[in-house]
Amino acid sequence: MPKIADPYVIHYPEIVALSDLEGRRVELVEFFDCTGGAMWARHHYTKSPLVESARVVGATMRYLLRPGKVELPLQGSTFAAGITGVTVEKDEIAISYLGLGGGGVGASICRSTAKGVLRCETDPSGGGKVAGSTVWLPRRERVLIGIDDTDTQEEGATWTLAHNIARTVEDDRSRYLSHTIVQLFPVPFRTKNCVATVCEFATSDPGGLVAGYRDLLERYTLSKETGMAVYRGFDPSHLLPFGRKVQREQVSSEELGGVLDGRMQAIMKGRGLMGAVAAIPFSTRYTEAIEPWNGNG
């Protein structure tokens, strides 16, 4: 009969934390193996004053947090676990969890053993105990890489190349978080479907990440019109009006130049740069990203 090494522990595969430049906003990204446990945690953790929102992206739960420390009025069944502390330091982000009973198991040993944890302090847990942990994670920043126009009428597909490069450049300093396909206006010079792709990373080495991605894109692209854009910042939503316009109509290069600034860099400047930039604000906005052009402009 097979044996279970830890019958009362489910180990989170990985935990990643990233923040804005000022350290005022934090996104906690928990990769989960047990869907039920992750959904239970979301229900309870969002009751913490430090949690502004929580959403599921693929096999991750994403908590938008604000720094601080709070006391949680935990109560069985109704508020059984939560996040009690968020601290942003120069190179690290510390997250403190607390829970009752099984919620304490999740708040302590289940998270403290995750990949990405630099060190931890963990209480004994199980049964009816109140238990928790503090985990220290590398402080990372969000980097979004948009690409477009890598294929030809004969071969290739941008979305597959984008994903395969992202997987290849991923390392301990740069974690690949998401991949979003973005439907664009069907311009006359499109290959076929006219979609761009944006890949999201949490990284402590943005320069190395971008250089590695660019090198592989230059090596494997099949087009002379490839575009690659890079956004470094916590929230690209201010770019949504531009992205939506590129979804609705053909946009001029002058308008494109207006959105290139200190946070947005043009890395490869072929004709596909328009789609590469437009894709970036749709990162993880999957439904909105793939809504097709309806012909109404």
Contacts of 77 (CB under 8 A, 6+ apart): none
Give the domain CATH number at 260: 3.30.70.2200
Domain identity same for 105 and 160: no
Report how far residue 98's alpha carbon sits from residue 108's, in angstroms, rounded to the nearest whole number. 7
Domain identity same for 239 and 120: no
Residue 113 lies in a domain: yes
The residue among 139, 165, 185 that closes a domain is 139
Residue 278 lies in a domain: yes
State the residue range of the domain holding 216.
Answer: 149-289
Domain identity same for 38 and 95: yes
Domain identity same for 232 and 282: yes
Q: Dig out the tokens for 126 from the structure.
A: 């199980």
The residue among 91, 108, 139 that closes a domain is 139
Q: Dig out the tokens for 192 from the structure.
A: 């076929």
The residue among 85, 105, 139 that closes a domain is 139
Count of domains in the chain? 2
In this structure, how many other beta carbons lie within 10 angstroms of the beta carbon of residue 294?
7
Residue 89: how many CA atoms within 13 Å on its side-chain side?
9
Q: Which of 94, 126, 88 is nearest to 110 (CA)?
A: 126
Per-residue pLDDT of the chain (297 residues; tens, 9 = 90+): 999 999 999 999 999 999 999 999 999 999 999 999 999 999 999 999 999 999 999 999 999 999 999 999 999 999 999 999 999 999 999 999 999 999 999 999 999 999 999 999 999 999 999 999 999 999 999 999 999 999 877 777 899 999 999 999 999 999 999 999 999 987 655 555 589 999 999 999 999 999 999 999 999 999 999 999 999 999 999 999 999 999 888 888 888 888 888 799 999 999 999 999 999 999 999 999 998 666 554
Domain identity same for 62 and 156: no
Predicted pLDDT of residue 191: 54
Residue 296 lies in a domain: no
Domain identity same for 214 and 191: yes
Predicted pLDDT of residue 190: 56
Domain identity same for 119 and 219: no
Mark residue 199 as left, alpha or beta (left: phi above 0; alpha: psi -120 to 50; beta: remaining): beta
Domain identity same for 176 and 203: yes
Residue 200 lies in a domain: yes
Domain identity same for 125 and 179: no
Residue 180 lies in a domain: yes
Residue 86 lies in a domain: yes
Residue 297 lies in a domain: no
Residue 144 lies in a domain: no
Domain identity same for 122 and 168: no
φ, ψ (nearest 5 deg) of residue 148: -155, 155
Domain identity same for 94 and 197: no
